[in-house]
Amino acid sequence: MDNQDQLTVARIKELAAARSDGALISATQPHADTLHLAIDKRAMRNVVDGLVNELQARFMISVGTDRRPVTGNFAILHLFSLDREHLYVLLESPISADDLRIESITPVVPGADWAEREFQDAVGVHPEGHPDPRRLLLADDWPEGAYPLRRDFPYNFQPPPAPNVRPQLREPPAGASVVPMGPFFPVLEEPSYWRLFVEGETIVGCDTRIFYNHRGIEKLGDSVLTYNEIPYLAERICGICGFIHSTCYCQAVEKAAGIEVPRRGRYIRTIMLELERIHSHLLWLGIAGHIIGFDTVLMQTWRIREPVMWICEEISGNRKTYGMNTIGGLRRDLPNHAKPKLIETLAAVEKEAIAVRNAIVGDTTLHARTKGVGVLTNEWAKKICVVGPPARASGLAVDARIDHPYAAYDEVPPRIATQDAGDTWARVVVRVAELLESIRLVREALAAIPEGPICAEIKEEIPPDRVGVSVVEAPRGEAIHFVMTGGDNRPYRWRVRAPTYANLQALPATVMKGTIADVPITLGSLDPCFSCTERLETVDRRTNKVRIYSHAELLEISRGKIRRGGTR
């Protein structure tokens, strides 16, 4: 740790002491890049205000946790990042069980809106002064007063069904009517419910209800699974950026336990992460085309994307959900015979991606649909703490690979692309540039990859009561995993924040004053995310014989049907 970092740490401590007016309980530095401040809850908003407005700290996520078995209190943690100084700041406040309230920081940091509503739902600590304390995480028929992330709450609790419940939704302003989008809507791959308030075709406001897909993953992580089982669950958080979540979780545990991943392991992680970005961005480009009716873009980009999936299958055995990560490194090496094939695939993908880029850059109708549409101003992007391509398209140079280098990004740093316009077109341009940059990164990493072990040997138990913060730049922005270690070979608390969590909160500001026709593409330009099944297994019920169809067979069956002119 150099002098400048020490200066920053000293400045933050000074600021916290001054702003908390003597309520600073402790200040520790569990890792070189993490500063952990415990402050009294009365001073929280004041300290946050100082961090954000004086030191330009960026809010990341809040963690609510039930520490009663250990300290007798609940605890609320707010996580911030000082991007230029490569530093995480963790503000923790103990919350006594007799007074389950804390000052809301949303009035100071609008981007903390969902995070605070989430800990209110999960552990029952009420953020006081929150502008919109409605239910966020839990289902509408979930009983009041049942807080799933408290330690004494069983993971398999089944509440009685409650009929006729509805989400609490806002009424439209006078003179406006409601156009519902969702919970199921053609271009939304996952359920989410947007109520658009419109005058004619112009949007004058919107309200939202999401979390229809809540699966209780964090609860499983701290009550049922063990450290080394969680990577497989983490990988299934997302159907597109699975490897990103398993890497991010492993890194958080490795950091908490002080495990050093071998260099080759870090390089392989880098390569797989960038391959995920390549196929994710191609997928996104296709969906964006589809949303505005340009299906040719969809079909062509997905055709280009397919060889990337094949090479991932060659490396890991799976097109997606590789199952390669484990605490300490990887379970599977990059096979030598895959290297030339990978280079060949990259060359082909690069050539076609450039052709697609040139085609869309010159398409005036495409410009008409994306330029000036869904503008997210730099000011709002900062306020809502947007991450990833939407942030970079609004002139914020936020990228976890630069801000908090992990894997091998310190040795093969990416060149990040930014735009200032903040509109949908800018987000297209940023993503296309990133796609080509990722191809370069994989090439560089392949050239520099050292020989050696891929996984660290872990001989001792992971010690309890340590914290680890890890970020990974997913294709959609920064994914965050926070781990607090516990006994029983499992985390005491595992907190996950996917990038969409931050970016979706920007939608209301982004669609304002646009038209209904612009909403799908604006939403699409922030984040689409879905998974798909590629294999089919049939069981003959008479003989109980299992037959697994291969990709080629399935293709042949479906093509045969077409040739027979079949309408089934």
Partner 1 sequence: MTAWLVTVFLPCLLNVALALFLSPLYEGIMRKLRAAIHSRIGPPITQPYWDLLKLLGKEDLRSTGGAIYASLPAFTLASLLLLATLVPMGTAAPLAFAGDMIVVLYVAAMSAVLIVLTGFASASPYASIGSSREMMLLLSVEPILAIALSVGAFKARTLALDGILNWQVQNGPSISMAIGGLAFFLALQAQAGKLPFDIAEADQEIMGGPLVEQSGPRLALFRWAMWTKQLVLCFLLVEVFFPWPRLGIPLLDLMMAMGKVLVVLVLVAVIDVVNPRLRIDQAMGYFIRVAFSSLAALAFAVIGK
- Asked if 291 is part of the footprint of partner 1 (rule: CB under 8 A), the reply reads yes
Residue 187 CB, shortest distance to partner 1, in Å, is 5
- Asked if 562 is part of the footprint of partner 1 (rule: CB under 8 A), the reply reads yes
End-to-end, the C-alpha distance of the chain in Å comes to 68
Q: Which stretch binds partner 1 (CB under 8 A): 161-169, 289-297, 345-353, 423-431?
A: 289-297
Amino acid at 360: I
Selection from 335, 327, 324 nearest residue 235 by Cα: 324
CB 196 within 8 A of CB 172: no
Distance CA 565, CA 390 (A): 45
Residue 390 CB, shortest distance to partner 1, in Å, is 20
Listed as own residue / partner, the contacts of 164-171 with beta carbons closer than 8 Å and 24 or more positions apart are: 165/140, 165/141, 166/140, 167/135, 167/140, 167/193, 167/209, 168/134, 168/135, 169/195, 169/207, 169/209, 170/195, 170/207
Nearest-5° Cα angle at 505, 204 to 381: 90
Single out the residue of 365, 489, 531, 538 in contact with partner 1 (rule: CB under 8 A).
Answer: 365
Single out the residue of 295, 410, 420, 534 in contact with partner 1 (rule: CB under 8 A).
Answer: 295
Q: Which residue has the tokens 């003959």?
A: 540
Select 153 or 185, whichever has its Cβ closest to partner 1: 185
Select 197 or 380, whichever has its Cβ closest to partner 1: 197
- Asked if 202 is part of the footprint of partner 1 (rule: CB under 8 A), the reply reads no
- Asked if 551 is part of the footprint of partner 1 (rule: CB under 8 A), the reply reads no
Amino acid at 457: E
- Asked if 293 is part of the footprint of partner 1 (rule: CB under 8 A), the reply reads yes
Residue 291 CB, shortest distance to partner 1, in Å, is 5
DSSP readout, 489-541?
A: TSEEEEEEE-HHHHHHTTHHHHHTT-BGGGHHHHHHHH---------EEEE-T
Select 300 or 345, whichever has its Cβ closest to partner 1: 300
Q: Hey, which residues between 298 and 327 contact partner 1 (CB under 8 A)?
A: 299-300, 303
Distance CA 487, CA 69 (A): 12
DSSP readout, 131-143?
A: S-----SS-TTSP
Residue 524 CB, shortest distance to partner 1, in Å, is 9
Select 352 or 437, whichever has its Cβ closest to partner 1: 352
Select 303 or 351, whichever has its Cβ closest to partner 1: 303
Amino acid at 324: M
Single out the residue of 180, 258, 335, 340 in contact with partner 1 (rule: CB under 8 A).
Answer: 180
Single out the residue of 242, 265, 289, 475 in contact with partner 1 (rule: CB under 8 A).
Answer: 289
User: What are residue 37's DSSP bridge partners?
Assistant: 27, 91
- Asked if 28 is part of the footprint of partner 1 (rule: CB under 8 A), the reply reads no
Residue 507 CB, shortest distance to partner 1, in Å, is 16
Residue 285 CB, shortest distance to partner 1, in Å, is 13
Single out the residue of 369, 382, 404, 427 in contact with partner 1 (rule: CB under 8 A).
Answer: 369
Single out the residue of 90, 292, 402, 504 in contact with partner 1 (rule: CB under 8 A).
Answer: 292
- Asked if 283 is part of the footprint of partner 1 (rule: CB under 8 A), the reply reads no
With b for 16 or more beta-carbon neighbours within 10 A and e for fewer, the 510-546 pattern comes to: bbeebeeebbbbbbbbbbbbeeeeeeeeeeeeeeeee
- Asked if 559 is part of the footprint of partner 1 (rule: CB under 8 A), the reply reads yes
Single out the residue of 49, 83, 314, 363 in contact with partner 1 (rule: CB under 8 A).
Answer: 363
Single out the residue of 186, 544, 546, 548 in contact with partner 1 (rule: CB under 8 A).
Answer: 186
Residue 119 CB, shortest distance to partner 1, in Å, is 36
DSSP readout, 217-258?
A: HHHHHHHT--TTTHHHHHHTS-SSSHHHHHHHHHHHHHHHHT
Single out the residue of 169, 178, 416, 458 in contact with partner 1 (rule: CB under 8 A).
Answer: 178
Select 415 or 559, whichever has its Cβ closest to partner 1: 559
Residue 338 CB, shortest distance to partner 1, in Å, is 26
Residue 167 CB, shortest distance to partner 1, in Å, is 18
Q: Hey, which residues between 509 and 538 contact partner 1 (CB under 8 A)?
A: 515-520
Single out the residue of 14, 201, 379, 553 in contact with partner 1 (rule: CB under 8 A).
Answer: 201
- Asked if 443 is part of the footprint of partner 1 (rule: CB under 8 A), the reply reads no
Task: List the beta strands (DSSP E) in 279-366.
Answer: 325-326, 329-330
Listed as own residue / partner, the contacts of 352-356 with beta carbons closer than 8 Å and 24 or more positions apart are: 352/304, 353/282, 353/304, 353/432, 353/435, 353/436, 353/439, 354/436, 356/285, 356/297, 356/300, 356/301, 356/304, 356/432
Selection from 165, 101, 159, 161 nearest residue 133 by Cα: 101
Residue 550 CB, shortest distance to partner 1, in Å, is 19
Q: Which residue has the tokens 């609790």?
A: 157
Distance CA 95, CA 76 (A): 7
Select 275 or 292, whichever has its Cβ closest to partner 1: 292
Q: Which residues are at the interface with partner 1 (CB under 8 A)?
A: 177-180, 185-187, 201, 289-297, 299-300, 303, 363, 365-366, 368-369, 515-520, 559, 562, 565, 567
